Every structure is written in structure tokens, then in C-alpha cells.
Amino acid sequence: MKMNTSVAALALVGMLALSGPASAKGRARDVEPQVIEIHAKKFGYEPEQITLHKGETYKLHLTSDDVPHSLRIKQLDLNAKMKAGEFDDVLFTPEQMGDFTADCGLYCGAGHKKMSMIVHVVGK
Ligand SMILES: [Cu+2]
């Protein structure tokens, strides 16, 4: 009888010890978002494709090397301006998996419709 009680007490101590690391895990998620630099230029983007993880927040570091463009993905609710010679940071969290084609939402000349970039969104 006495032994059973101490076993139960030990089990309780073990459970309390386990609850500690679980809350520390929550803090590890407060890391700075990964920065992804993207350049637009008549008539394309650099890089031409990127891979992101669904549900993760990224900081898009956007600029244009010539005239104003934008980076638009309708399905992911993104349409960010890309200013000429100036950087803008845009926080972006893709919430759908799949292969998406980003295009330019700002008319920039004869090749405007040809501007595209592939964004792969994968699971973790
Ligand atoms: Cu454009």
C-alpha cells in the first residue's frame, strides 16, 4: 500500500516536469520571419521561383530594378508594390498549398503580361 502511494507521487512529479519544456517550445516559434529578397525588372522576377511553407510567415523584401511593378498572387491574396530603386518589406503567410503563378499587377510596358514567377507552397 505504502509503495503504491509513492509510485503515484513519482508519476505526478514526472508529469509536472514534462509540462515545463512544453511551454518553452511555444517561445521558440517567436523567431524572426525568413527574409526573401525579390527583384522585378522588365519583364520578369528574380528569383524566377521560390518555395514556401504553408502557414509560415515570411518577410518579402521587394524592389524593382527599373520601373514600378507589383507581385500579385490572387489566390493567396497578395498584391505588393515593387517600387523602383526602393525596398519594401511585406509580411506574407501563404495559407494554401500548391503551385501558384505570381504576375505583375501594374502595367509596365509591352512585356507586362509575360511577367511571372512560380511560388511553390508546400507542407511542413
Ligand atoms: Cu510589370
Domain at 73, CATH number:
2.60.40.420
Q: How far is the CA of 105 from the centre of ligand 1 (A)?
A: 7
In a domain, 70, yes or no: yes
pLDDT at residue number 70:
98
In a domain, 80, yes or no: yes
pLDDT at residue number 65:
98
Backbone angles phi, psi at 13, to 5 degrees: -60, -40
pLDDT at residue number 2:
52
In a domain, 108, yes or no: yes
Q: How far is the CA of 70 from the centre of ligand 1 (A)?
A: 6
Q: What is the DSSP letter of 99?
A: E
In a domain, 22, yes or no: no
Q: How far is the CA of 88 from the centre of ligand 1 (A)?
A: 16
State pTM to two decimals. Answer: 0.76
Q: Which residues contact 55 (CB under 8 A, 6 or more apart)?
A: 93, 94, 95, 124
Q: How far is the CA of 10 from the centre of ligand 1 (A)?
A: 66
Point out the residues of the chain with pLDDT beneath 50: 1, 8, 12-26
The residues with which 123 forms a beta bridge, in sequence order, are: none
pLDDT tens column, 23-32? 444 455 668 9
In a domain, 72, yes or no: yes
Owning domain of residue 80: 34-122
pLDDT at residue number 31:
83
pLDDT at residue number 17:
47
If one counts every other C-beta atom within 10 angstroms of the C-beta of residue 63, the result is 17
In a domain, 21, yes or no: no
How many domains does one find in the chain?
Answer: 1
Say how far apart CA 66 and CA 26 lie, in whole Å.
43
Q: How far is the CA of 42 from the centre of ligand 1 (A)?
A: 7
If one counts every other C-beta atom within 10 angstroms of the C-beta of residue 92, the result is 21
